[in-house]
Chain A
């Protein structure tokens, strides 16, 4: 008899704990009719490869289930397509299908006449693989961040608070009003506002836009100092324990602050995880109000708490429904209602609402760089949908979709911009007389804010070096460049920069080597470091070193504003 690996054994045993009636129903009910095939964006872009068909992918788990948990498969395995797994290589193949060929978008589930919910049991399969340590590196890194640091982008508590303080100062000076602040840990607030860590790291404008809206609406609101990350990587990794722990962190903070309502900023995966799945993973009944900020903003306008002028938002707009919002939480009408209140030229995208196609960055795909080419190929479906609208701005209520769409827009050269509703509402705000805002709003960059600051840019890609150098020099920095590890250390020793932006994946001495050598050399150990990588899973190379952590992380691709924002934050330039 064939010997089974330890991990394969564990996975088979673990399956018993994952099975519930819904899942077993979905596992036994498939008639292999193929009706779901064309609902999947992977199939549409790989028509000749049947391994992308939802039923084919579903059968990878179904085979194991049948072989071990369904007696028809135990008695006549070959006849009913039951098959066990034995080796770690087979587990890797399962990983490739489960993580790399499906975004768990649930489009096939709503198109199956039998009611087979493949996306749900694919998540269970991911959870089983994760439980035996078989997962894409990016999933491991992000899960680790969320378990250990409390948010999925590894934002340190001091960075989070610093960012909010910094944004508060900006808002105070914008409104010339001492009370225009982002309250932190205020007790008895009517709204406790939770966000996606991406907002702190890459898109702080969404936080300041929301703050502006709350301020003008006269809201009694706060942001929590902990439990502020409403995203939940448990949704993508299938790890219910992580899902429950993260959800509880958020719910408990709300209770500790005696907040009345939890408002979740615009994020499909965050909304689904916190609002629609969290209580189930955590095993608690929801006993307080949670809502998406889309509802909050819409109600402000309807109740007259804020006034908007749609003529301020020029251009033509379309709306992309996030799969998690539309197909798992029924959130698809309100964003349209709100959008129509703040823009004049709205063009529907087809198909839409429950039938919309995934941005192709869902299901955690943005953190699995090994599948990037597959993802971008499948994004052709979305690119065609976007192009057909003729709009020049696509709006979405999801941070994950912002990244997925931005990436595909660049890849397919669509000349479109991605925005969120919060940006448009904030921009359309009619500021009441007594609250005067200056002409140029928010994160205005002072002339040459980095004047005289020495920065060493380390990257093996010449284009990146040129790009970083020009952005930083335009803002007054003195920039040095190094395209390999050895040069980076020698230039650092010679020029003593204040900050080094460091790529990890370089030929020869990689970023990990540079980082450790820098930290171990007392002459340059205090140089601030911002890791900038296109492969977040490689952050492990940094984590695993027994030296103080870097001051910042950024994922490529990075736009000039994000680069500048992070550099200024690390160098504490106001």
Chain B
């Protein structure tokens, strides 16, 4: 392994992780500096709902595509969302496994698994890019960061897909690009919309608390009456 690849796999990742952790900590501190509003009224809604149930429901909501009309009606987009985020998880996991537990990446089935998931995520990334550029409403709500983040991650998927076999002897370039992109990704995340997963627990927690207290969560949806 060349020194460049070793640096990209180890020191570069450590620096990037450290920077990301610091910026994250600052972001969380910034958010928590704002006072949380609270509900002073007595609870409303069905007796079997409450704040706790609302919070739990809200946080689990993303795993219940049937719960929201938006995910029910757009199940394909929801499935793409799952695949895309699984791809992110696998590609990040790989950035730890290759340098620190390379043996885990050796079995053929593991290579296939990573390639299938990351490859599928790459295809979803392409679809998402097309959707963002081609739909009028998506263009109207997109910022340069939205386009850049999506293209960045989709490219990163491609390099991750090609790096899965972890065979520097067959050429290091793609792996170096993958690790540099991973580092850039880690540093860039807190400054971009990709940091949404940092806010996700906050927004869903507070929405769940509010809606649970009011008996709106868990959502009852559209039901046939008795």
A binding-site residues for B, Cβ under 8 Å: 19-26, 28-39, 43, 48, 50-51, 53, 55-56, 59, 71-72, 76, 78-81, 109-117, 275-280, 283-286, 290, 326-333, 336, 340, 346, 348, 350-356
For this complex, 16 residue pairs linking A to B, each with C-beta atoms less than 8 Å apart, are: A19-B34, A20-B34, A25-B199, A32-B142, A36-B70, A53-B140, A59-B141, A110-B211, A275-B44, A278-B41, A280-B39, A284-B40, A326-B216, A348-B225, A354-B219, A354-B220
Contact A353 B223 (CB under 8 A): yes
Give min CB distance, B56 to chain A, whole Å.
Answer: 13
Known: A53-B137, A115-B58. A286 touches B222 (CB 8 A): no
Contact A329 B214 (CB under 8 A): yes
Determine whether B191 belongs to the interface, using a CB cutoff of 8 Å to chain A.
yes
- Bound CA–CA A157/B11 (angstroms): 77
Contact A354 B44 (CB under 8 A): no
Q: For residue B208, which residues in chain A have a CB less than 8 angstroms away from its CB?
A: 115
Determine whether B36 belongs to the interface, using a CB cutoff of 8 Å to chain A.
yes
Give min CB distance, A504 to chain B, whole Å.
Answer: 39
Give min CB distance, A509 to chain B, whole Å.
Answer: 46
Q: Restricting to B167-226, which residues have a CB under 8 Å from any CB of A?
A: 191-193, 196, 199-200, 202-204, 206-208, 210-211, 214-216, 219-226
B binding-site residues for A, Cβ under 8 Å: 30-32, 34-42, 44-46, 49, 58, 61-62, 68-71, 73-74, 77, 81, 135-146, 148, 191-193, 196, 199-200, 202-204, 206-208, 210-211, 214-216, 219-226
Q: Which of A51, A113, A283, A326 contacts B62 (CB 8 A)?
A: A113
Q: For residue A59, which residues in chain B have a CB less than 8 angstroms away from its CB?
A: 141
- Bound CA–CA A352/B221 (angstroms): 7
- Bound CA–CA A59/B215 (angstroms): 29
Contact B68 A111 (CB under 8 A): yes
Contact B32 A332 (CB under 8 A): no
Highest count of chain B CB atoms <10 Å: which of A29, A36, A277, A336: A29
Contact B61 A113 (CB under 8 A): yes
Highest count of chain B CB atoms <10 Å: which of A33, A336, A356: A33
Highest count of chain A CB atoms <10 Å: which of B62, B70, B193: B70
Give min CB distance, A128 to chain B, whole Å.
Answer: 16
Contact B44 A350 (CB under 8 A): no
Contact A29 B207 (CB under 8 A): no
Give min CB distance, A545 to chain B, whole Å.
Answer: 41
- Bound CA–CA A25/B211 (angstroms): 16
- Bound CA–CA A25/B201 (angstroms): 10
Highest count of chain A CB atoms <10 Å: which of B148, B191, B193: B193
Contact A115 B204 (CB under 8 A): yes
Known: A24-B31, A50-B136. A336 touches B199 (CB 8 A): no
- Bound CA–CA A56/B69 (angstroms): 20
Known: A22-B36, A35-B71. 11 other contacts (CB 8 A): A26-B203, A30-B196, A72-B192, A79-B145, A80-B144, A81-B145, A280-B37, A280-B41, A329-B215, A346-B225, A354-B216
- Bound CA–CA A320/B214 (angstroms): 19
- Bound CA–CA A30/B193 (angstroms): 8
Give min CB distance, B61 to chain A, whole Å.
Answer: 7
Q: For residue B224, which residues in chain A have a CB less than 8 angstroms away from its CB?
A: 348
- Bound CA–CA A33/B68 (angstroms): 15
Q: Taking CB as reference atom, which chain B residue is nearest A66? A: B143
- Bound CA–CA A78/B32 (angstroms): 26
Known: A114-B200, A284-B40. A72 touches B216 (CB 8 A): no
Q: Which of B31, B32, B138, B145 contacts A80 (CB 8 A)?
A: B145
Q: Which of A33, A50, A80, A352 contacts B223 (CB 8 A)?
A: A352
Known: A25-B202, A286-B42. A117 touches B207 (CB 8 A): yes
Give min CB distance, B30 to chain A, whole Å.
Answer: 8
Q: For residue A36, which residues in chain B have a CB less than 8 angstroms away from its CB?
A: 70
Contact A353 B203 (CB under 8 A): no
Q: Taking CB as reference atom, which chain A residue is nearest B193? A: A31
Q: Taking CB as reference atom, which chain A residue is nearest B32? A: A21
Q: For residue B138, which residues in chain A have a CB less than 8 angstroms away from its CB?
A: 32, 34
Q: For residue A30, which residues in chain B have a CB less than 8 angstroms away from its CB?
A: 193, 196
Known: A286-B40, A350-B222. A39 touches B69 (CB 8 A): yes
Q: Taking CB as reference atom, which chain B residue is nearest A78? A: B144
Q: For residue B203, which residues in chain A have a CB less than 8 angstroms away from its CB?
A: 22, 25-26, 29, 114-117
Q: For residue A326, which residues in chain B have a CB less than 8 angstroms away from its CB?
A: 216
Q: For residue A355, which residues in chain B have a CB less than 8 angstroms away from its CB?
A: 69, 219, 221-222
Contact A50 B196 (CB under 8 A): no
Q: For residue B71, which residues in chain A have a CB less than 8 angstroms away from its CB?
A: 35, 113
Q: Which of A31, A113, A290, A351 contacts B70 (CB 8 A)?
A: A113
Give min CB distance, B149 to chain A, whole Å.
Answer: 9
Give min CB distance, B190 to chain A, whole Å.
Answer: 9
Give min CB distance, B168 to chain A, whole Å.
Answer: 35
Give min CB distance, A62 to chain B, whole Å.
Answer: 10
Known: A50-B137, A114-B196. A351 touches B222 (CB 8 A): yes
Q: Which of A24, A32, A116, A346 contacts B34 (CB 8 A)?
A: A24
Q: For residue B42, which residues in chain A have a CB less than 8 angstroms away from its CB?
A: 286, 290
Highest count of chain B CB atoms <10 Å: which of A32, A111, A277: A32
Q: For residue B45, which residues in chain A have a CB less than 8 angstroms away from its CB?
A: 329-331
Q: Which of A21, A290, A330 contacts B206 (CB 8 A)?
A: A21
Q: Taking CB as reference atom, which chain B residue is nearest A292? A: B44
Q: For residue B192, which residues in chain A have a CB less than 8 angstroms away from its CB?
A: 72, 80
Contact A48 B136 (CB under 8 A): yes
Known: A78-B144, A275-B41. A25 touches B206 (CB 8 A): yes
Contact B41 A279 (CB under 8 A): yes
Give min CB distance, A140 to chain B, whole Å.
Answer: 27
Q: For residue B215, which residues in chain A have a CB less than 8 angstroms away from its CB?
A: 329-331
Highest count of chain B CB atoms <10 Å: which of A36, A286, A330, A346: A330
Q: For residue A286, which residues in chain B have a CB less than 8 angstroms away from its CB?
A: 40-42
Q: Taking CB as reference atom, which chain A residue is nearest B204? A: A115
Give min CB distance, A487 to chain B, whole Å.
Answer: 51
- Bound CA–CA A283/B35 (angstroms): 14
Q: For residue A114, which residues in chain B have a CB less than 8 angstroms away from its CB?
A: 196, 199-200, 203-204
- Bound CA–CA A30/B39 (angstroms): 24
Q: Which of A31, A276, A327 contacts B196 (CB 8 A)?
A: A31
The 10 closest A-B pairs by CB, nearest first: A330-B45, A330-B215, A81-B143, A50-B140, A115-B203, A111-B70, A279-B40, A29-B199, A351-B222, A115-B207
Give min CB distance, A98 to chain B, whole Å.
Answer: 17
